[in-house]
A and B are shown apart, each in its own frame.
Chain A
Amino acid sequence: MNGWPLRLVLVSIGLAVLAWVLSPIWLALLISVLFYLLLSPLVSMLLARGASRDRAIIMSLLPALLILVYAAVYSINSLRNYLPHLAADLEHLQQSATLALLQFETYLEQMIGLRLRLAENAQVLDLNDILQTDKLLESTGVFANIAINLTLVPPIAYFLLRDFRRWRDNALSLLPNEHFELGWLMYYGVSTRMQAYLRGLLWQALILACITSTGFWIAGFPSPILLGVLTGVAGLVPYLGPFLAMIAPLVMLLSAATFDPGSILQILLVLTVGFGFDNLITVPFLLAGTVNLHPIVAMVAVVVAGNVGGIPAMILVIPVLGMLKIVLQTLLNGLGAPIMQRE
């Protein structure tokens, strides 16, 4: 026994500590990694056509960064304009939700004689108190943190595109002779699958956001791009995505001055078209076979991760489980045979 499980545990602990230390800039790291995944094929293509490394990186990164800056400025302006109206909208949302629940309860009581008291409970909840909108308006910490994270994206993405392979080579050189080739095999298995999966997820979110934004725009909903983007993000959550995607448009519908029941059908239609395309075309072509997990395992993992870490955990749990599966399979295949031979 050469103690590899102990080493694996130590490496995992080290990675957990590193993740904790880097947690304040997780947004910057996440966006930079996504940029790396999206842009590295483009950089490779430009390099193959004879561009210098720096020029290839800048040519690939610049348009993406301009889009990011535009999206950030647009979001911050929208938020700054909207936040003063948040308290009034929340109050209206609570009244509308209470009314809708009351109608639902009356219907249930008439049909099957069941009384749930959902409306009473909803009335007791004070959304303004829970979200503390006054403090949210006064607080600049959240916005400052987001701004710092966004400022860090260009340098991190640039250095990832330029130096990641060198850092990787140096890290893998640290492996002992005995496990050098196994380490490369494991790295390659994990990185190719994960890169394919994360690239697939990005394209999935973009396609879903485009389709649903267009749908919401045709249906005449306010802020169709925002609704489309939220649907795209919700669509990243496996299995539960369609349900999560309904939350934003429904909340918008309930907080509107007049409630139009026909709009619910429009929401359902837009989401059906979006997720229909997603399930029939995007997922089979972009994501099939990238992470081979059993549907039951994936579903349970998504629910558990949602309880522990919210939406980001729900999105990331599948690639993390897929990665663990490949690492364990490579370890068992790679270490099993030589240990037998040594004995």
Chain B
Amino acid sequence: MKLSQPHLWLNPFKRETLDTQVLKAWRATPLLQGIRAGVCEKLVERTHVRQYQPGEYVFREGDSAVAAALIVQGNVVIRSDDNDIARLGAGEFFGEAALLEDTPRSASAVAEGVTLVSLLVRYQLEEFVQHRPQAGLNIMTNLAHLLLARLHRGNNDHTEEKNANDGNAAS
């Protein structure tokens, strides 16, 4: 992906190109909070924008995971055992556990309509942070916060579900 700024006279109405849209979307994710704009640009240049047709899998439950995904346009349904768990829209970031290790996907992601997804591959992120240790530390800290927040949310959901079940049983 090429992110160099287009000439002003080629874009008189300041319409957003796909590349700048992708960059903006990535910069808004919790993963790149507090990272310098120049560094973000270099990292986002390495991401891969891919188009999915309605019903096409972005990834499948149980597949080996090597990339985190960001929805640029369209919607994605997260599905596990034929149950829809969540519906994500443009700007939402998912599958970030793949940036840490080779774990199988815990759920499938299916494109709802024609959907553009930007993928950040773990190996490319590793190569990127090798050259920029400070930025790497910040990104990994952000990732840790993100995973921790999801873990807390999962725990809270589980506790609430358990309390509700206990309440039902008591009544």
Give me the interface of A with B, judged by CB distance under 8 Å: 44, 47-48, 165, 169, 173, 177-178, 180-182, 184-185, 187-188, 333-334, 337-338, 341
| Given A48-B133, A169-B124: A181 in contact with B48 (beta carbons within 8 A) | no
Q: Which single member of B48, B62, B130, B131 contacts A180 (CB below 8 Å)?
A: B48
Question: Looking at chain A's contact residues, is the secondary structure mostly helix, strand, loop, or mixed?
Answer: helix
Q: Which residues of A contact B61 (CB under 8 A)?
A: 341
Q: Which residues of A contact B56 (CB under 8 A)?
A: 177
B52 at the A interface (CB under 8 A): yes
Distance of B113 from chain A, by nearest CB (Å):
15
Q: Interface readout for B19-53 with A: 1 if CB under 8 Å, 0 if not? A: 00000000000000000000000000010101010
Distance of B134 from chain A, by nearest CB (Å):
10
Q: Which residues of A contact B64 (CB under 8 A)?
A: 181-182, 185, 333-334
What's the count of A-B pairs with C-beta under 8 Å? 52
Distance of A113 from chain B, by nearest CB (Å):
66
Question: Looking at chain B's contact residues, is the secondary structure mostly helix, strand, loop, or mixed?
Answer: mixed
**Contact at B63–A338, with CB atoms within 8 Å?**
yes
Q: Which residues of A contact B67 (CB under 8 A)?
A: 180-181, 184
Of residues 48 through 77 on chain B, the ones whose CB sits less than 8 Å from some CB of chain A are 48, 50, 52, 56-67
**Contact at A337–B63, with CB atoms within 8 Å?**
yes
> When chains A and B are docked, how far (Å) is the Cα of A184 from the Cα of B46?
14
**Contact at A48–B132, with CB atoms within 8 Å?**
yes
**Contact at A181–B65, with CB atoms within 8 Å?**
yes
Q: Which residues of B contact A44 (CB under 8 A)?
A: 130-131
**Contact at A341–B60, with CB atoms within 8 Å?**
yes
Q: Which single member of B50, B66, B102, B131 contacts A177 (CB below 8 Å)?
A: B50
Q: Which residues of B contact A184 (CB under 8 A)?
A: 66-67, 121, 123
> When chains A and B are docked, how far (Å) is the Cα of A18 from the Cα of B118?
32
Which B residue sits closest to A44, measured CB to CB?
B130
B78 at the A interface (CB under 8 A): no
**Contact at A188–B62, with CB atoms within 8 Å?**
no
Distance of A172 from chain B, by nearest CB (Å):
8
**Contact at A173–B62, with CB atoms within 8 Å?**
no
Give me the interface of B with A, judged by CB distance under 8 Å: 46, 48, 50, 52, 56-67, 102, 119, 121, 123-124, 127, 130-133
Which A residue sits closest to B67, measured CB to CB?
A181
Distance of B149 from chain A, by nearest CB (Å):
25
Which A residue sits closest to B119, measured CB to CB?
A180
> When chains A and B are docked, how far (Å) is the Cα of A188 from the Cα of B123?
8
Q: Which residues of B contact A48 (CB under 8 A)?
A: 130-133
In the complex, given contacts A48-B133, A181-B59, A334-B63, what are 18 additional A-B residue pairs having Cβ atoms less than 8 angstroms apart? A44-B130, A47-B131, A48-B130, A169-B124, A177-B58, A180-B50, A181-B63, A181-B66, A184-B66, A184-B121, A185-B64, A185-B66, A185-B102, A187-B123, A188-B66, A333-B64, A334-B64, A337-B63
**Contact at A169–B130, with CB atoms within 8 Å?**
no
Distance of A27 from chain B, by nearest CB (Å):
29
Q: Which residues of B contact A181 (CB under 8 A)?
A: 59, 63-67
Q: Which residues of A contact B132 (CB under 8 A)?
A: 48
Closest 3 CB pairs of A and B: A47-B131, A181-B66, A184-B66
Distance of B32 from chain A, by nearest CB (Å):
19
> When chains A and B are docked, how far (Å) is the Cα of A181 from the Cα of B69?
11
| Given A48-B131, A48-B133, A165-B127: A173 in contact with B63 (beta carbons within 8 A) | no
Q: Which residues of B contact A338 (CB under 8 A)?
A: 60, 62-63
Distance of A286 from chain B, by nearest CB (Å):
22
21 A-B residue pairs with Cβ-Cβ distance under 8 Å, sorted by A, are: A44-B131, A48-B131, A48-B133, A169-B124, A173-B48, A177-B50, A177-B56, A177-B58, A180-B50, A181-B59, A184-B67, A185-B64, A185-B66, A185-B102, A333-B64, A334-B63, A337-B62, A338-B60, A338-B63, A341-B61, A341-B62
